[in-house]
Structures are given as C-alpha cells and as structure tokens.
Structure 1
Amino acid sequence: MHRARRRFGQNFLHDRTIIQQMIVAISPRAGEFFLEIGPGQGALTRPLLDHGVQLTAIEIDRDLATGLRRYPAAQAGQLQVIEDDALTLPLAPLIDQADQTLRIVGNLPYNLSTPLLFHLTTPRAGIRDLHLLLQREVVDRMAAAPGSKTYGRLSVMLQARCQVEPLLDVPPGAFAPPPQVTSRFVRLIPHRERPLGDVDDDCLSRVVARAFGQRRKTLRNALRGLLDAAAIEAADINPAIRAEQVDLAGYGRLARILEHHDSAD
C-alpha cells in the first residue's frame, strides 16, 4: 500500500459517497477530453474512465504514476499518464489535442493551490471548466465579495478569469490520511467574455498584488511608486480607501491607467 508523502501534500480521497457526488457535479460525457491534476490512487480517475472520457493524468509521485500506467485504460490509449509537476505543465498542447475544449479536474495539494490556480486559469480559451478540490478557506477567498475579510488578490485575479461556484464541503474523514482542515469542491467556468475586457493581465496583477500586499494601508500609500493619488482618482476611486473596498471593475480601471502610464514612458 502506498504511504502518503508529506512533501507532495498527499491526502487520498476514499469516501465513495463524496466521490459519487463529485462525479455527478462534473457530469463527464464519453469522448470528452480531461486533464486530471494529482490523480493519486485513482479515486476520480476510475469513475471518469468508466464514463468513457479521454484522460491525461499528471502525477508527480513516481510510484503512483507507475500504478496508473497499469490501468487497462492506459494500455488501450484512453489514459495517458505524465510523470511531472503540474506547475510546469504546458497546457497549450493539451488544449490543441482536445477535439473541442479541455476539462480539468483535480485534488490540488494545499501548499501549492494558489500558484496552481493561477497557472491553470491563465489560458484565455480552450478550457471549458475546472472542478477542483481545495481547502475550504481557499475557496472562500476565491469567491469572496468586496468588503469582506476574505476578499483579496486571489478573489480579484480568479474572478477576472472565471465564474466561481462552490459546490460541496468534504470533511477530513473523507481522506486518508485525514487533513486538519475541511475541504471544498469548487467549479470554475472561464468567462467567454472577460468582465474586464482586454485589460493587460500583467498590469492587473501588479496593481492587485501591490494593493493587497499592504492591505491595511490606504490605496494612496499601498500603490505609491506605481500609481499616484491623481491616477487613482482618474479611475474613479477614492485614494483614501483600502484594497478590500475596491471591486473587480475598479481594479480593471486601475490596471488600464497603469497600462497607459507604462506605454507613455
């Protein structure tokens, strides 16, 4: 039996009722192309394959990857196993391989969830949806509204890219070994029309990171060296408010002003 490795953040899902609920939420159809991040011992892999999907699984653990390659579906060409780090996996070839769009599922390691979320939601097109199992607090931050304590950089950047739909909570006992936190299954649907239009991602990221990097400060002080008070006011935002009081559209306006300043320099 495979022993969970702490360095990979492994907690293996085993609760059959929870797994069935997740599969129902995913609603896989035969012939669809899926990418599974961290398949582990195959809790989601097997039922996905049973539904007839074409599945690429990326697993960093060599022993687990070897076990997945023994599946009959791997021998038949329905399952492709990649032994690698999901953070470095180029998504473009997988999107190109899919007949229509790629669907992504995964039980993300909690210690890498934020960088993985940014990586997996970077493509502008070609991904239909993502169904991910994460720490509940992370999903709370992803779905948070302006003005709340959990609203932050992750909220703004993901909501600029995707619709965030929390689905169901998963208790620690559904895993082996059980984590010390409750998990939450979430659906992300990339926007067909991005709410901020063609705003530059780098400019948005810089503004949001700076604003929430010092969230107790006013925007005037937090954005010093990036945008001055006049530029903030030009975005129809009061420089005396704090980062959590600015909505998604407001950050889009700030990013556009920063982009204009950059192009003028």
Structure 2
Amino acid sequence: MYQINALNPKDEGHQARKRFGQNFLHDQRVIEKIVRAVNPRRDDNVVEIGPGLAALTSPLIAEVDHLTVVELDRDLAAGLPNRVPHPERLTIVEADALKFDFSSLATEKPLRVVGNLPYNISTPLLFHLVQQGKVVEDMHFMLQKEVVERITAAPNSKEYGRLSVMLQYYCKATYLFEVPAGAFNPPPKVTSAVFRLVPYLDKPIIAKSEKNLAALVAHVFTQRRKTLRNSLKGKLDEAGFAQAGVDPMARPETLSLTQFVALSDACIELF
C-alpha cells in the first residue's frame, strides 16, 4: 500500500502520487528494523519492489554486491542512481511488478524479494509472486496491518479467510511487526505491518487441483456465515463430506488448510 521512501532535501520537489499509493517513510528506526528482518547476505540475489526514493534501497545496497529494483514510476526510477551509495551495484527495471516475470531474475541464486505492495494490487501481486515460488527464497513486505493479519491468521479467528488459506498453502507466513502511520509523510489513515513469506520447496500438503482448491476456498468464504453443507449444496453430498473427514455443519473459518485440501479433493473439478 505504501512505497518505502525516505524524504531528504534533494527530494523536496517530488510530490507523493496517489495513483501509485506513495507515502514516504522517514522513520530511520523502522527502516533499520526492516533491514534487520531481511538480514541480507553479501551474495544474496535481492529484488526490491517499489524502491521509490531509496529509503530501503540505500541500506540494502550497502549490504549486498548487487540489488535489482522494480519501479513503475519513471521519474523515481531515473533518480535512483543519485540516491544510493553504490549505484554501480544497482539494476533498475522499469516495469509493472504485477506483470513482470520475476523468474527471469533468478540465475544461480534464488530471489529474496522485499518492499511495499500498493494496496490496490497487493492480493494479485502476492499470488503472482507465490506462483513463482520455486525461484524465491523469501519475501519481506509491508502492507496495511489488517491485511497482514488476514494473511498470517490461524483458523477460528475473525481474520482467517481466503488470503490465509491460499497464501499459507504456498508459503510459511509470519507476522513481524507493526509500523505506525506517523512513520510516513504524508501519514496514511491506517497502521501498517511487516511480514515474511517463505515459499515451500516441498509443500506439506498438495491438492489434486490447486485451481479447484482456490475456487472452493473463494466460494465458501463468500458465504462464511453458512455451514459448509449449505454453501456446498449441490456440489458435495454427505458421502463426500465423510470422505474428506469434514463436519458438514462446520463453517469455513474453523477448517484447517489440511481440511480444505481434503474437501477440495472430495469435490474435485466441481468449481
């Protein structure tokens, strides 16, 4: 939702652009905390999404031999070499992260992806990235706190939903820390949070059809107040629920990922 950018005197002429969801981070303590969470190694293949005015780019590039950034705003991309301490280590890709093939950057080492995700594209971008999880070591992002809580939620909580189930199918998701609105200029109207996703090299559980699983999860959470028997009426009978080992009177927020996969496998290709 917010690009991690630092305000300094030479950037005073740059106005935050609402269409890019720009809010400039100025709290050095928060920046340092993010870098510590990423813990970059010298030879890591680090990719930053939305470097903006280089608040995170500068400390990252000081820690690694090479850094690739993906920036949609051409004006900001053009100014990046003048904002970082080691411009010779920087590769700038002017592209829409939602359409960019991140696997093209994975050479001998997997990617470590960091940055802020604009809220209006955060969900499709996260799924775009996890689909390329085989070439990604880990991801550290900042998003609206309530979205991060949904991504990292456990069953039997009000935050648990489609994002929780599907992202946790592909990755281990960890809530790291909160970032207050006052850390940005202009301050956003909501609190942010930083989280980590680590894609599974070997998923703990594998659905017969990931497409069917995604459709099933989306379907039942649009009717989360209904029992599974009612929301899946006409798609799964009592024998199907028995096969999956799932109580038809349960509601979707009570099911574990394992149960969702079993349910999907029991009504394979029905969505």
Is residue 2:231 matched to residue 1:222? yes
What is the alpha-carbon distance in structure 1 between the residues aligned to residue 230 and residue 152 of structure 2?
Answer: 27
Q: How far has the Cα of 1:72 moved from its partner?
A: 6.7
Does 1:151 find its partner at 2:167? no
C-alpha distance in 2, partners of 1:7/1:157? 28
The equivalent of 1:88 in structure 2 is 99
Q: Do structure 1's residue 48 and structure 2's residue 57 form an aligned pair? A: no
Q: Which residue of 1 aligns with 2:19?
A: 7
TM-score by length of 1: 0.91
User: How many angstroms does 1:210 deviate by?
Assistant: 0.7
Q: Verify the 8 A CA contact 1:218 1:242 in the aligned structure 2.
A: yes
**Contact 2:58-2:85 within 8 A present in 1 as well:** no
1:50-79 Cα distance to aligned partner (Å, 9 max, x none) = 112422111111111111244577862x21
Of 226, 230, 236 in structure 1, the residue corresponding to residue 245 of structure 2 is 236
CA distance in 2, matches of 1:137, 1:222: 26
Structure 1 residue 44 displacement after superposition: 0.7
What whole-Å deviation, never above 9, does each CA across 1:127-166 have from its counterpart, x for those lacking one? 1100101111111111111111110000001111111111
Name 1:171's counterpart in structure 2.
180
Query: Matched residues, percent identical?
Result: 47
Paired with 2:51 and 2:234, the residues of 1 have a C-alpha distance of 44
Q: SS in structure 1 opposite 2:197?
A: strand
Distance 1:63 1:228 in 2: 57
| Aligned equivalents of 2:233, 2:248: Cα separation in 1 | 11
Structure 1's 204 and 17: CA in aligned 2 closer, same or farther, altered over 3 A? same
CA–CA separation in structure 1 for the residues paired with 2:84 and 2:194: 28
Two-structure CA RMSD over aligned residues (Å): 1.8
Query: How many residues are matched?
Result: 258
1:125 to 126, 134, 141: 134
Q: Quote the residue 2:4 is aligned against.
A: none
Mapped partners of 2:216, 2:193: distance in 1: 29
How big is the shift at 1:209? 0.6
- 1:100 matched residue in structure 2: 109
Report the Cα distance in structure 1 between the residues aligned to 2:86 and 2:208, rounded to whole angstroms: 42
Counterparts of 1:222 and 1:53, CA distance in 2: 53
CA contact (8 A) 1:36 1:106 kept: yes
Deviation at 1:229, TM superposition (A): 4.1
Distance 1:217 1:196 in 2: 26
Question: Which residue of 30, 33, 39 corresponds with 1:18?
Answer: 30
Q: Please tell me the residue identity of whatever aligns with 1:113.
A: S
CA contact 1:28–1:53 (8 Å) conserved in 2: no
Equivalent residue for 1:38? 50
What 5-or-longer segments of structure 1 have no aligned partner?
Answer: none
